């Protein structure tokens, strides 16, 4: 099962581009991006996340962080200026998500975390 998770994470990283890594520099620009909704009741394993835009002209985009343990994100990917993203994830795990905003100076702190459990069918 963990091999499936590794494969899914690899596809997520490929979809998000070459800068899909953990944030290395966090700045204090506010307000934080906030995950405002998610839909876990779509077809099996599909989760759509949405968040509020940051009202700051210097924001260049957003980065989505996900993992199977709260506060420990194993994948980090830029999603551009989009305010939603759909993921195809393996079932049998509880997935945890956070969003950050980034600009030329660095990256915001993590948003409040949301999670969804995708039970095995």
Q: What is the pLDDT of residue 33?
A: 45
pLDDT in tens, 5-32: 444 455 454 455 545 445 544 444 343 4
pTM here is: 0.70
- The residues spanned by each domain of the chain are 2-118
Diameter over CA atoms, the chain? 45
Q: CA–CA separation, 96 vs 16, rounded Å?
A: 18
Burial (Cβ within 10 Å: 0-12, 13-18, ≥19) of residue 43: exposed
Facing residues of 102 across strands? 61, 107
Q: What is the pLDDT of residue 12?
A: 52
| CA angle in degrees (0–180, nearest 5) for 75-4-118 | 80
The third-level CATH classification (topology) of the domain covering 2-118 is Immunoglobulin-like (2.60.40)
pLDDT in tens, 39-98: 545 566 788 888 888 888 999 999 999 999 999 998 899 999 988 888 888 888 899 999
């Amino acid at each position: 099962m963990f091999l499936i998770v590794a494969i899914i994470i690899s596809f997520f990283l490929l979809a998000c581009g070459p800068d899909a890594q953990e944030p290395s520099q966090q700045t204090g620009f506010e307000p934080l991006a906030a995950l405002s909704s998610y839909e876990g009741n779509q077809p099996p394993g599909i989760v759509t996340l949405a968040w509020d835009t940051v009202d700051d002209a210097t924001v260049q985009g957003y980065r989505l962080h996900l993992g199977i343990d709260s506060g420990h994100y194993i994948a980090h990917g830029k999603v551009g200026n989009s305010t939603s993203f759909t993921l195809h994830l393996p079932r049998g795990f509880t997935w945890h998500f956070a969003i950050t905003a980034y600009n030329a100076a660095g990256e915001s702190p993590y948003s409040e975390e949301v999670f969804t459990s995708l039970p095995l069918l």
